[in-house]
Amino acid sequence: MEPLTIDPSKVKYPDLDRISNLKPNPHILLGKDIVFTEKRDGSNFGVYLDVEGEWHARSRNMDIASEQFHNYFKLTPQFEGVIELLKDATEWGDAYMIFGELLIKGKSPTKIEFHDDHSFVVFDIWSAKVGGFLNYTKVYQECYHNHLPIVELWGTCRVNTLEALLKFRDEMLLKSIEMNREGSVGKYVNGSEFIYFKEKNDIPKYEKVPRSEDPDNERVILPSLPDSELTGAIEKVYADLGENFFDIKLAMPMVAKYVVIEQEKHNCSPPQKKLIVAYRERIEELRKNK
* Residue pLDDT, tens place only, 233-250: 999 999 899 889 999 999
- pLDDT of residue 1 exceeding 80: no
- Determine the Cα–Cα distance for residues 156 and 42; give it in Å rounded to an integer: 24
Contact call for residues 234 and 197 (beta carbons, < 8 A): no
User: Is the per-residue pLDDT at 229 higher than 80?
Assistant: yes
The arithmetic mean of pLDDT across residues 40-53, rounded, is: 92
Distance separating alpha carbons of residues 198 and 38, to the nearest angstrom: 10
Taking a C-beta distance cutoff of 8 angstroms, is the pair 168, 155 a contact?
Answer: yes
Asked whether the predicted pLDDT for residue 107 surpasses 80, the reply is yes
pTM above 0.85, yes or no: no
The string over 178-189, giving b where at least 16 C-beta atoms fall within 10 Å of a residue's C-beta and e elsewhere, is: eeebbbbbbbbb
Of 129, 149, 188, whose CA–CA distance to 2 is shortest?
Answer: 129
Q: How far apart are CA 103 and CA 78, in angstroms?
A: 11
Residue 97: is its pLDDT beyond 90?
yes
In contact, 34 and 231? CB cutoff 8 Å: no
pLDDT grade, residue 5 (50/70/90)?
A: confident
Distance CA 129, CA 224 (A): 42
With 0-12 / 13-18 / 19 or more C-beta atoms within 10 angstroms meaning exposed / middle / buried, residue 20 is: middle
Residue 205 CA to residue 87 CA, distance in Å, equals 44
Three-state DSSP state, 25: coil
Amino acid at the residue 99: F
**Strand residue runs (E) in the chain:** 34-38, 43-49, 55-59, 96-103, 106-107, 114-115, 119-127, 132-133, 153-157, 183-190, 193-200
Q: How many helices (H) and strands (E) does the chain have?
A: 7, 11
How far apart are the C-alpha atoms of 187 and 157, rounded to whole Å?
Answer: 10
Question: Which has more confidence, 7 or 208?
Answer: 7
